[in-house]
Amino acid sequence: DASLFRFRADPVPSLAGESISNSVNSLLYYAGKQWVGTPLGLFIKPHNTDKNMNIPYKNDSAVLQHEIYQLLPLKDEVWAATGNGISVFSVEGKLINPYSSLTSLTDEVIYAILPDNSGRVWFSGINGIGCITNDRQRIVRFTMRNNLQSLEFNHNAALKGPEGRIYFGGINGINGIDPSQVKTEKELPRIHLFNLYVSDTIFSKGIPPDGISLSLSRDAAHLHGSVYTSGYGDASDQGFSFLLEGYEKEWNTPAASPAFAYRNLPPGEYRLLVRYTDPFRTTGTPIPLLTVKVVPAFWQTLWFAALLTIAIIAITVFIVKKVQHFRYINRIKALEQEHAIEKERLRISKDMHDEVGASLTRISILSEIAKSRQQEPDKTQKVIEQISEIAGDVVDELSEIIWAMNPKNDSLDSFAAYIRRYASTYLEATETLVSYNFPDPVAPLPMSAELRRNLFLTVKEAIHNVAKHADAKNLTITLQTDQKKLIIIIRDDGKGFSEELLPGTGNGLGNMNRRMEDCGGTFRISSGKGNGTEIIMTVGL
């Protein structure tokens, strides 16, 4: 994770050098260059044989800013398996991505890529195993029906073995594949109309011809029928999807049924397309079946709608502008002001009641107990100590409420300073050493009082959990920001806990998650026994 080692390939291997580096997933020396795949992206540098441990650091710029899991040289190209599909580079180090078929892998995590002996490229990821054909025009997918151990595989778990066999390791075991037994170059069968009903009436007694053009009345703009194919694969595995251009924006999900149906089509011109998917999940090219025109009435034409719209808008704008403009604007401003004031009052009232009110009630009760135990000095002293501790908490709570109310603190730099001061003070009496990874300087970006309050309470709860439960020696608070987003990361090296317990770990984590949702942000926590805990909060500025 933090060092790269180089060994001599002697009969007795020995360590030749070591360098501190970023975490490296894949390292390749190819075409006179050093290709380094890391969680931060792909870095390419000239290969210096005297200093071939020159691994990039955080200040270097990545040519591709996605996590790189594996690098594969293929003739005049270098393929990269990434957290966002497969990317292809020229040997000069330029991103080329020459194959349109790879766009279907966008947003998919690809963990491993391997070539077979016939020139095809195999890959594994979070959606199973796939094979890219020799011409790079198609991707053949394999599913649980093909005896996969699961649809999710692991990175750094792939091997090309003897006689060209390929092995992929996944979350439930290993899949071994003999590529010579897999035929991916089969031509997909063509699709034709089988029957067609127009306006609920049979169009043809036999199989309709291709390339039909129809004109439908707007009163009965109905269309349904089915298709057939000359390929006889497993009907439960093959699929048909339809798209009525001009009416639908996306293809239907492939289904075993070859039927289509459209009713009450609005006026317009349409084209019906069909697409076949074979049992290997290989999708063929779209095939046009027919064209349809639904004739509109004159009041349904574009020119009539345009004239009517213009007339209505002109009249409406004239009346509103002359009669209601100023009254409307002033009323809206007044309502917004009243709403903002009322919302702030409710928030302050709730904070005072939930936090300060509860503490004062406890002080009142403990004071009565102290009066009743005047003859027992030891017990009275313990009660007084409790009262003192609660009173100190009340002072801190009032200080937090006042800080949240003060408009002078409505900026990110003020918020960062307050977090730093609070964490240092709170953990001063513990054995946990806190460190900060903040920008220098922190930008004075505007923040609302409600956002500051929710973020602070979430950070406060996280620090409280570290001090109370984690037994951590070190705590790191990281603040990352740009003009639109704020990320706060709280990481400790404590004892952690099993992530299986996350759904029921108490109200604290639930409150933290709700506060982040209230301010439009996200909350994510990850942990493991003996591995510490990491909390990531993200919110828009």
Residue 20: the pLDDT is 72
459 and 389 housed in the same domain: no
Q: Tell which residue, 519, 525, 528, 451, has the closest CA to residue 490.
A: 525
Across residues 23-35, what is the average pLDDT? 89
Residue 236: the pLDDT is 62
> In three state form, how does the secondary structure of 169-202 look?
EECCEEEEECHHHCCCCCCCCCEEEEEEEECCEE
Is 155 a domain residue? Answer: yes
Which structural domain range is residue 480 located in?
408-540
Give the residue with greater pLDDT, 354 vs 375. Answer: 375
Q: At 262, which CATH number?
A: 2.60.40.10
Whether the per-residue pLDDT at 57 is higher than 80: the answer is: no
326 and 396 housed in the same domain: yes
Is 212 a domain residue? Answer: yes
Contact 193, 290 (CB under 8 A): yes
Contacting residues for 85 by C-beta, under 8 A, at least 6 apart: 102, 103, 105, 106, 107, 108, 110
Residue 344: the pLDDT is 63
pLDDT tens digits for range 130-185 = 999 988 888 888 888 788 889 999 988 999 998 899 999 999 999 999 999 888 76
Whether the per-residue pLDDT at 106 is higher than 80: the answer is: yes
Angstrom distance (rounded) from CA 480 to CA 66: 18
Angstrom distance (rounded) from CA 34 to CA 51: 11
369 and 242 housed in the same domain: no
Give the residue with greater pLDDT, 351 vs 430. Answer: 430
Of 77-81, 291-295, 465-469, least confident by mean pLDDT is 465-469
339 and 435 housed in the same domain: no
Residue 403: the pLDDT is 67
Of 208-212, 213-217, 336-340, 436-440, least confident by mean pLDDT is 336-340
Task: Give the CA distances from residue 524 to residues 44, 179, 280, 527, 538, in Å, rounded to whole numbers and listed in that order.
Answer: 33, 41, 37, 10, 9
Across residues 432-455, what is the average pLDDT? 87
Task: Show the DSSP H helices in 352-373 as ranges.
Answer: 358-372
Across residues 277-299, what is the average pLDDT? 83
7 and 151 housed in the same domain: yes
Give the residue with greater pLDDT, 60 vs 284. Answer: 284
Is 519 a domain residue? Answer: yes
Q: At 16, which CATH number?
A: 2.130.10.10
Whether the per-residue pLDDT at 232 is higher than 80: the answer is: no
Of 38-47, 178-187, 485-494, least confident by mean pLDDT is 178-187
Q: 158 - beta bridge partners?
A: 168
Is 100 a domain residue? Answer: yes
401 and 415 housed in the same domain: no
Q: 88 - beta bridge partners?
A: 79
Is 186 a domain residue? Answer: no
255 and 110 housed in the same domain: no
Residue 58: the pLDDT is 56
Q: Tell which residue, 215, 231, 105, 126, has the closest CA to residue 168.
A: 126
367 and 436 housed in the same domain: no
Is 238 a domain residue? Answer: yes
Whether the per-residue pLDDT at 353 is higher than 60: the answer is: no
218 and 348 housed in the same domain: no
Whether the per-residue pLDDT at 292 is higher than 90: the answer is: yes
Residue 122: the pLDDT is 96
Whether the per-residue pLDDT at 489 is higher than 70: the answer is: yes
Of 86-95, 105-114, 219-228, 234-243, least confident by mean pLDDT is 234-243
**Quick one: pLDDT band at residue 250, thresholds 50, 70, 90?**
very high
**Domain C-terminal end among 345, 380, 405:** 405
For the chain, the helix, strand and coil percentages under 3-state DSSP, each to the nearest 5: 35, 35, 35
Angstrom distance (rounded) from CA 216 to CA 210: 18
Q: Sheet holding 287-294: strands in order across?
A: 212-216, 287-294, 268-277, 239-245
Q: What are phi and psi of 162, to 5 degrees?
A: -60, 150
Residue 355: the pLDDT is 62
Tokens of 74: 């293929």
**Domain C-terminal end among 249, 275, 298:** 298
**Domain C-terminal end among 259, 281, 298:** 298
Which SS3 state, helix, strand or coil, does residue 82 take? strand
Whether the per-residue pLDDT at 361 is higher than 80: the answer is: no
Residue 245: the pLDDT is 94
Q: At 465, which CATH number?
A: 3.30.565.10
Whether the per-residue pLDDT at 440 is higher than 90: the answer is: no
Whether the per-residue pLDDT at 225 is higher than 90: the answer is: yes
Whether the per-residue pLDDT at 504 is higher than 70: the answer is: no
Kindly state the DSSP code that residue 142 receives in the 8-state scheme. E
Give helix then strand counts, H and E, for the chain: 7, 28
68 and 196 housed in the same domain: no
Residue 104: the pLDDT is 87
Q: Tell which residue, 465, 464, 467, 460, has the closest CA to residue 488.
A: 460
Whether the per-residue pLDDT at 377 is higher than 90: the answer is: no
Sign, Cα dihedral of 122, 124, 125, 130: positive
373 and 429 housed in the same domain: no
34 and 55 housed in the same domain: yes
Is 139 a domain residue? Answer: yes
Our count of domains for the chain comes to 4
Residue 502: the pLDDT is 59
